[in-house]
Structure 1
Amino acid sequence: MLSRAARPALRAVATRPAAPNAATYATLREIEGRLKSIRNIEKITNTMKIVASTKLNRAQRAMQDSRVYGATSNAVFESAETKALESDKKKLLIVCSSDKGLCGGIHSGLSRYIRRRTAEDPNVELVLIGEKVRAQLGRTNAKDIVLSFAGAGKDIPTFAEAMNIADQIILLPNEYADVEIVYNKFINATSYEPTSVEAFSEEAIAASPNFSAFEVDEELLGNLREYALANSLYHALSEGHACEISARRNAMDNASKNAGEMINKYQILFNRTRQAVITGELVEIITGATASEDM
Structure 2
Amino acid sequence: MSGLPAGLLDGLRAERLEVAENVPLAPWTTFRIGGPAAAVVTVRSPEEAVRAVRSIAAVGARWTVVGGGSNLLVPDEGYDGVVLLMRAARVQIVEHDIEAEAGADLGRLVSSSAWAGLGDLTFAAGIPGTIGGAVVGNAGAWGRAIGECVASVRVLRARTLEAADLSRDELGFDYRSSVLQSTGDLLLSVRLALQPADRKLLLRQIDELRARRAERLPDQPCAGSFFRNLPPVRPGEPREPAGRLLEAVGAKGLRVGDAAVSERHANVIVNLGHARCRDVLALAEELERRVAEKFGVRLIREVRLLG
Common fold: TM-score over 0.5: no
TM-score by length of 2: 0.21
Query: Relative to total residues, which structure has the larger strand share, 1 or 2?
Result: 2
Q: Name the structure, 1 or 2, with higher relative contact order (CA <8 Å, separation 6+).
A: 1
Query: Relative to total residues, which structure has the larger helix share, 1 or 2?
Result: 1
TM-score by length of 1: 0.21
